[in-house]
Structure 1
C-alpha cells in the first residue's frame, strides 16, 4: 500500500534528514503549548518553500529566536526584525519575522485564556484525528477543520496561518495522523496518543 515499496510516506523522499524527521517527529502528538507554537511559526516560515529548507535551518531558527520562547519574542521590535533579516542562517522575510513577533503576543494572550494547547486539541476533543490515506495524492492540502482553525487563529491575532499552513502544522504535530496506512509510522504515532 502507498507509493513506496517500504510503505513509508513519499513526501520525505530519501534525504536522510527528511527521513529521520519523518521517522521520529512528524505526526507524533505534541501536547506542549510552547512546542506547538514553535512548530506553527516554523510552518509559517515554510510558506512558499520546501519543508526540507526549514529542517536544514531549524537549529539556526532556534538560535535566532532564542529557543522560541514566546515571552521573550513578544517583547521584540524593529531592531530585532532587522537583526533577523541580517541572519543568513534563517529564512529572511520581513513579513514572516514580524508575524513571529505578533504571534508570540497572540500566543501569550491565548495561553492566559486557557492555553494554546487546549485551543488546538479542543478541535479534535483531545484525541488525534486518524486518517486512512493509501496514497500521498489522497491527502488534502487543507480541510474544513484547518479552515475553521485558521479563522480562529487570525481572529486571535495570529498571522501566516492560512488553512494550508494550519493543516500541515496539524499533521506535523500529530493532531491529525496523515501517515499513509501502509507506512509503519501510521500505527506507531497512533499508539503515542494520550
Structure 2
C-alpha cells in the first residue's frame, strides 16, 4: 500500500523515512560501543602493573662438554602505567630436567639454579608502559633429555601489586 502511494505521488519506490529511522535507532546504539573499543588500546591501562610475557626457546649447538644447551629469549612488558615493585621471572622446566642458567646483564639468579625451577630478578623496576627488551638466558641441561622436547614455562610477577604474565615455549635438546 505504501508503495502504491509513493508511485501515485511520483516518488521512487524504495526505503521510506520511517524505515530509515527505525533501522537508524538500532545502529546508533551499536556504533558508539564499537568506536570506544577501537580507541582504547590494550597497553593504555592504568593501575597496578600488568605484565605480558613472550618467550621463544631453541637448542644451541652442543659441544662434548655440554651437549644439551638451550636458550630462552624472554621479553616482559608492563601494560600498565604503574611501575613494578620487584620484578621476578621464573623458568620452570619439565619434570626430570634440571638446568643451570647464565642470566644476562641486569638479571640475578634468586633461587633454584640447578633445579627444575629457576627464579631470576631484574635489578631495576620495570616502568609503566615499558619492556625489558629481549633477554637471552642460556640453560645447560644437567638431566637426561635424549632429544626430547623440553617444555619451559615462564612466569613474570610484578611484586606486591599487579597482574602476572605467563608464556610457554618448548625446546628440543
State the TM-score bracket (shorter-chain normalisation). Answer: under 0.3
Q: Which has the higher strand share?
A: 2
TM-score relative to the length of structure 1: 0.24
